[in-house]
Structure 1
Amino acid sequence: MIRTPNFSKNPDGLLPVIVQDAVTKNVLMQAYMNQEAHQKTLDQKRVWFYSRSKNRLWLKGEQSKNYLNLVAISYDCDQDSILVKVNPEGPTCHLGSDTCWGESNALSSIDFIKTLENVIEQRISDEQKNSYVSSLVQKGINKVAQKVGEEAVELVIESMDNNEQAFLEESADLLFHYMVLLKAKGYSINDSLAILEKRHQNR
Structure 2
Amino acid sequence: MTALERLADTIGARRGADPDESWTAKLLSKGPEKCAEKFGEEAVEAIIEAVKGDRSALTAEAADVLYHLLVMLAARDVSLGDVLGELERREGVSGIDEKAAR
| Structure 1 and Structure 2 fold alike (TM over 0.5) | yes
Say whether residues 1:142 and 2:33 are aligned partners.
yes
Match of 1:194 among 80, 85, 95: 85
Residues of 1 paired with 2:12 and 2:64: CA distance?
A: 17
Match of 1:126, SS state, is coil
Match of 1:121 among 12, 18, 26: 12
Equivalent pairs counted in the alignment come to: 94
Summarize deviations over 1:133-191 as a string: whole Å, max 9, x none.
10111111111000000011111111011211001100000000001111111111111
Match of 2:90, SS state, is helix
Q: Which has the higher contact order (CA 8 A, sep 6+)?
A: 2
Q: Larger Rg: 1 or 2?
A: 1
Match of 1:160, SS state, is helix
Residues of 1 paired with 2:56 and 2:15: CA distance?
A: 29
Map 1:34-183; keep pairs closer than 5 Å: 111-183=2-74
> Equivalent residue for 2:100?
none
Q: How large is the Cα RMSD of the aligned pairs?
A: 1.5
Q: CA deviation at 1:199?
A: 1.1
Report which of the two has the higher share of helix: 2
| Aligned partners of 2:19 and 2:29 also within 8 Å | no
Q: What residue ranges of structure 2 are gaps of 5+ in the alignment?
A: 95-102
Q: What residue ranges of structure 1 are gaps of 5+ in the alignment?
A: 1-109
> Equivalent residue for 1:101?
none
TM-score by length of 2: 0.84
TM-score by length of 1: 0.44
Report which of the two has the higher share of strand: 1
